[in-house]
Structure 1
Amino acid sequence: MRYSNGNTYHKWVLVADGGAARIFQKNKTYEEIHQVRSKYQHSTSKELVTDKDGAFYATRHHTKGNASDQHAQAEKAFIQSVADYLKQSYLAGAFHEIRIMMPPKAMGSMRKCLDSKVKHVVKQEILKDYTHIKSSEIVRKILADL
């Protein structure tokens, strides 16, 4: 789709969970244009430690604290980084509307992290986890769910 001035109207689909994110852009069909994975996605609870500022780093030493809290904090930090990327991309004019496909828990976190300007252009939320399937299959799912 194009505006009357010739500029392209970009539609994105974000497919994400608490540890991986993929962005698809509508051209003739949907094409994957960006992928990022949390560096902590496959870390065990014993490997996750936070420093005094709350930043995560991996270690092989035993840690104190609730392991599920550490994983939840790592997921929240990742989702915040994805939300920040979406804000920067939207403000730069990279997309004009977005659909988000995430599992319910991750979507709840994303809603809290999204900037109000990005929230305004979210056209659809699909509460499904498609992060672990091939791009071609994701495109079929995107087209089926839209």
Structure 2
Amino acid sequence: MARIKYSYQPADETKAVKAMGYEMPISFKHAVEICRFIKGRKIAEAKKLLEEVIALKRPIPFKRYKKKVAHKSGLEKWYAGRYPQKACRYILKILKNLEANAEYKGLDVDKLVIVHAQAKMGRKIKKYVPRAFGRATPWFQQLTTVEFVAEEVE
């Protein structure tokens, strides 16, 4: 299998750290909204926010995929939001991996800021749902790849 390339290359590789979750069984739309929500934040703050979403204490604002999304209280300057718990659990694992990579590189975890957070569509796995009278309906499982790059900020 070929190595997957990151879409973002940091200017100084020695002060940056990367982590990727490859082809995870989560919603692409949820992953996009979560990435937008945590980009520009410190790693500890992002982890705390995702844990609050998993505990249903804070909603994620849905700014792009907002059609037929209910209004949620607790959002700042926005109306539509959800609690994508499954996607948050997977993305939280990637953030823990990002933190471990930073410690391995000898970087100060408290100074790291997420400068790149992106969700990409992965493969589609074709499955079938059995129906009445011997028929079947195709059903596609969408896999999602999420990548993060954090850099030290003085």
TM-score after normalising by structure 1: 0.28
Max Rg structure = 2
Q: Which has the higher contact order (CA 8 A, sep 6+)?
A: 2
